[in-house]
Amino acid sequence: MRLILATSNQDKIKEIRQIYASFSQDFGVEILSWDTLMTPFEITEDGTSFQENALIKSRVVFEILKNQGILKVRDIVLSDDSGICVEKLGGAPGIRSARYSGGGAEENLEKLRSEVKRLGGISRAHYCACIGISSFVSDSSAHGFMYGQVIAECRGENGFGYDPIFIPNGFNKTLAELSSEEKNSISHRRIALENAQYLLRALLEK
Ligand code: ITT
């Protein structure tokens, strides 16, 4: 079976490959990203939740690959829609995390850092990831969350996105100060992918 990742975010691809390393080996699942099968394009993420956007991404890519005759019958398309929700900002940036500042990842981080500073320097926050799965059989999804706090200073070089200002509960380091193994053992993406494994195994057994 091929698991086709419908994401253009290389950091997500790296994490998904790491988290699914033993699953793909144990179940003979080949993981590849959609840009190896087609020219990637901008997908309009106009859903109102992480789940809606994840399913938009997996279904759109599935349909195009199917119409181009590229898909094999057991192929599965997997997407990830994720973001950070800050309590003192009423849950923002949330599903707009990738578009928060209108600029790139660095501008998004700087905008959130300065907002947190304006609001007193700290706020409870959580990351959410929703995995979308589209196949010839069905569409399904799985969520994962990671709770913690955001601070108004950047610390660490690892990870991506908002990781330099997010301290997970139970730690005194930001995600960017943790190793990729440490992040992947607790992250929203890890939990969502673990939940998604149950759906994938069911599809594998069909
Ligand atoms: P695709 O839609 O192609 O998958 P994207 O980066 O646009 O890529 P999203 O719309 O899901 O993906 O936006 C996710 C954003 O949320 C991401 O760009 C980061 O800013 C943030 N984010 C999600 N997970 C994160 C993580 O583990 N660490 C840091 N930031 C994260």
Q: Could you report the per-residue pLDDT of 146-170, keeping only the tens digit for each?
A: 999 999 999 999 999 999 999 999 9
CA of 206 to the centre of ligand 1 (A): 32
pLDDT in tens, 124-136: 999 999 999 999 9
**Predicted confidence (pLDDT) at residue 195 exceeds the cutoff of 90:** yes
Q: What is the mean pLDDT of residues 137-151?
A: 97
Q: Measure the CA–CA gap between 136 and 188, rounded to whole angstroms.
A: 27
Rounded distance, CA 50 to CA 154, Å? Answer: 26
Q: Which of 203, 197, 196 is nearest to 76 (CA)?
A: 203
The pLDDT-based confidence of 184 (bands split at 50, 70, 90) is very high
Looking at the CA of residue 9, tell me the nearest atom of ligand 1: 8
Overall average pLDDT of the 95-122 stretch: 98
- Tokens representing 57 are 């991404």
Atom 21 of ligand 1: nearest residue by CA position: 83
| Domains of the chain: residue spans and CATH | 2-204 (3.90.950.10)
Average pLDDT score over residue span 79-97: 98
Residue-level pLDDT at 205: 86
Q: 145 a known binding residue?
A: no
* Nearest Cα residue to 37 out of 72, 80, 89: 72
Report the nearest-CA residue for atom 6 of ligand 1. 9
Tell me if 161 is assigned to a ligand binding site. Answer: yes
- State how far Cα 202 lies from the chain centre: 22
CA–CA separation, 206 vs 202, rounded Å?
7
Token pair recorded at residue 69: 């005759």
Percent of the chain clearing pLDDT 90 (strictly above): 98
Catalytic residues: 81
Is 26 annotated for ligand binding?
A: no
Residue nearest to atom 22 of ligand 1 (CA): 83
CA angle 52, 63, 71 (to 5 degrees): 125
Residue 151: the pLDDT is 98
What mean pLDDT is predicted for residues 157-186? 98
- Whether pLDDT at 66 is above 90: yes
Separation of CA 95 and ligand 1 centre (Å) = 9
**Chain-wide mean pLDDT for the chain?**
97
What is the Å distance from ligand 1's center to 33 Cα?
16
Ligand 1, atom 19, residue with closest C-alpha: 161
Helix (H) or strand (E) holding 184: helix 180-186
DSSP class per residue in 9-55: -HHHHHHHHHHTHHHHHHHTPEEEEGGGTS---------SSHHHHHH
Distance from the alpha carbon of residue 205 to the mean position of ligand 1, in angstroms: 31
Please report where in the chains the tokens 């600029």 appear, as a residue.
Answer: 103
Task: Write the pLDDT tens digit of every residue in 23-63.
Answer: 999 999 999 999 999 999 999 999 999 999 999 999 999 99
Supply the pLDDT for residue 206: 76
Q: Provide φ and ψ at 80, rounded to 5°.
A: -135, 120
Q: What are the pocket residues of ligand 1 if the criterion is a CB atom closer than 6 Å to any ligand atom?
A: 7-9, 12, 45, 80-84, 97-98, 105, 108, 127, 159-163, 187, 189
